[in-house]
Structure 1
């Protein structure tokens, strides 16, 4: 197993720790006694997990440590981290002003579920699928991370009515792009590798 893959496995292991810390902080907020060490620890774990994504990618490229397992685990770890943070910050808000709205979490989850089902259907029909990131998906990911950071850092500027809709708009746009590409691949087959 490569070092890059081991780092990805550490990222996967950090996800439940983040969820526990973030939920504990949300519970303390609901009880009227915010326990700041839980918030700070949750943010530190989330940041560590995020930085590990950059590190494992750099190691894989720099030292040619690409592996089949890493190609599967890395994007799964990224999705699990993002979805866990979205869902936890939606159901366990850190304050009245600092929460992920249900519509936003639902939009991201729906896009990812539909994309996964489409990829499975294409693979089932053609025996392979080609997943290529679209620029709207990359922008959506950056804006989703900014929105999560906005909630975790409890920022007041820019206001949430700017941050969440911008992330939601690009999440929706990327979903439409992936649906169009999925439709094309389902009916005509994926492009050659």
Structure 2
């Protein structure tokens, strides 16, 4: 149960309070440290899944914890970034991203209950969205860095790209699930062959 992939997932959860603590330190090195902590957590997101598949160490615990860790890390980081810059410019994509995560998580849970979980499995579009989201968050964390204001502007632009992909992927998932949601397909018939 506590193989390396699951341990990396747990590490990502443990890094959340570390990230928040470092984010609020008022020292010149703090943005770099916070970005490093978030970046390390984002890398474990990729690495734990890769290792679990490569070493055939997938587990029910890992399948449960991985999306929880991802969503917690992203939601917490977006909330603290919004607290630092509470403009509508930042609030809109943050609301879209967090709202979509709640909606799609609920959708996946319901589809699993009716035996049609495969209809809303993670897609390549979701992975592209996650990549844009992670890069944007790192750039937004570095807002007061020596790199200049263009880093923050690029982070905001990528946050909007991520929010757009977030909405698009949500529509794709809802469209795939619609036959089950509307009652047009019996749950048993929605199961993959």
Give yes or no for TM over 0.5.
yes
Kindly tell me the number of residue pairs found equivalent between the two proteins. Answer: 180
For residues 66 and 58 of structure 1, the distance between their equivalents in structure 2, rounded to whole angstroms, comes to 10
CA RMSD, aligned part only? 2.6
**1: CA distance between counterparts of 2:19 and 2:152?**
25
Alpha-carbon contact 2:12-2:41 (below 8 Å) kept: yes
Q: Does 1:72 align with 2:67?
A: no
Match of 2:28 in 1: 36
1:168 paired residue number: 163
Quick check: 1:11–1:77 contact (8 Å CA) kept in 2? Answer: yes
> What are the ranges of 5 or more consecutive residues in structure 1 without an aligned counterpart?
29-34
User: Which residue of structure 1 lines up, in the alignment, with residue 177 of structure 2?
Assistant: 182
Deviates more, 1:55-64 or 1:153-162: 153-162
1:122 to 99, 111, 125: 111
CA contact (8 A) 1:119 1:182 kept: no
Does residue 103 in structure 1 map to residue 95 in structure 2? no
Which residue number corresponds to residue 15 of structure 2? Answer: 14
More displaced stretch, 179-188 vs 70-79: 179-188
The TM-score normalised by the length of structure 1 is 0.80
- Stretches of structure 2 lacking an aligned partner (at least 5 in a row): 144-148
